[in-house]
Amino acid sequence: MKTALITGATSGIGKATAERLYKEGYRLVICGRRTKRLQDLQSAFGGGENCAILTFDVRDKKAVEDAIASLPVPFSDIDLLVNNAGNAHGLDPINTGSLEDWDAMMDINVKGLLYVSKAIIPSMVEKKAGHIINIGSIAGKEVYPNGNVYCASKHAVDAITKGMRIDLNAYGIRVGGIHPGLVETEFSEVRFKGDVERANTVYQGYKALQSEDIADIIAFVVSRPYHINIADLVVYPTAQASSTILKKGEN
């Protein structure tokens, strides 16, 4: 049985990925800050035998280290790391954006991903095997109006993914990035600070990607024979052609 650690498993893409990998027979370590949601998911997966919970804020270096170090065998032997935790905070021009939002995006999306990776990579290096999937974004491939710092954080994820693949090549570790376009999750609710009405408009008038679509792609990527590493995937809803081109209405 393989073990997968998924960050941001309380919602959206991470939750759907946990559900899908559970069905695929993985032992799971599910992470997030909202403990109740993790507990509900663990119960749905039949309890603690094959699913461990880690509650931490990825911004807290020590909490990340301590949580991952606390994992008992067999959960500590991680074969697959899905670095998914992240969000956009705000959608403002660079001249009016808030420092708090910028800190949140760089600290969570970039540094948090590094802290989690730092805690897990040594065991992969030691066993000369493992798979790391970083959830980037189309925002990591192009910059769109008012996306500035979120786009910067996701460009960093893209660069870190490439750097990981290069540096971990000697150890036979697979590293890849998945870069979705618009996925209907709690993402916009977080970006717009709880303004559900505004968040909903992001997904209206066309068929957005669903979390399960990305989970399905992750299940495909991880199930390839070990000599295949799907390194870089951009996934749009059919209605979307770029960050700024979105066709709404009937075909």
CB-CB neighbours of 221 under 10 Å: 19
Task: Examine residue 190 and tell whether it contacts ligand 8X3 (CB under 6 A).
Answer: no
| 17 contact choice in ligand 8X3, ligand NDP, none (CB below 5 to 8 Å, kind-dependent) | none
- Residue 32: phi and psi, rounded to 5, are 170, 180
Task: Examine residue 83 and tell whether it contacts ligand 8X3 (CB under 6 A).
Answer: no
Binder of ligand 8X3 out of 6, 53, 157, 182 (CB under 6 A): 182
Q: Which of residues 63-122 bind ligand NDP (CB under 6 A)?
A: 84-87, 108
Q: Name beta bridge partners: 209.
A: 183
Task: Examine residue 199 and tell whether it contacts ligand 8X3 (CB under 6 A).
Answer: no
Among residues 22, 115, 150, 203, which one is catalytic? Answer: 150
Six-digit token pair at 214?
Answer: 């990305």
Binder of ligand 8X3 out of 7, 117, 134, 137 (CB under 6 A): 137
Query: CA angle, corner 202, sides to 59 and 218, nearest 5?
Result: 55
Residue 203 a catalytic site member: no
| 243 contact choice in ligand NDP, ligand 8X3, none (CB below 5 to 8 Å, kind-dependent) | ligand 8X3
- Measured between alpha carbons, how far is 121 from 193 in angstroms, rounded to an integer? 34
What SS3 class is residue 212?
Answer: helix
Six-digit token pair at 153?
Answer: 């954080």
Task: Examine residue 139 and tell whether it contacts ligand 8X3 (CB under 6 A).
Answer: yes
Task: Examine residue 32 and tell whether it contacts ligand NDP (CB under 6 A).
Answer: yes
Interface segment toward ligand 8X3; rule CB under 6 A; list 39-47, 51-59, 135-143, 209-217: 135-143
CA-wise closest residue to 177 among 86, 89, 107: 86
| Whether the bond into 145 is cis, omega within 30 of 0 | no
Q: How far is the CB of 126 from ligand NDP (least distance, A)?
A: 26
Task: Examine residue 182 and tell whether it contacts ligand NDP (CB under 6 A).
Answer: yes
- Measured between alpha carbons, how far is 125 from 128 in angstroms, rounded to an integer? 5
Residues of this chain that interact with ligand 8X3 (CB under 6 A) are 137-139, 147, 182, 243
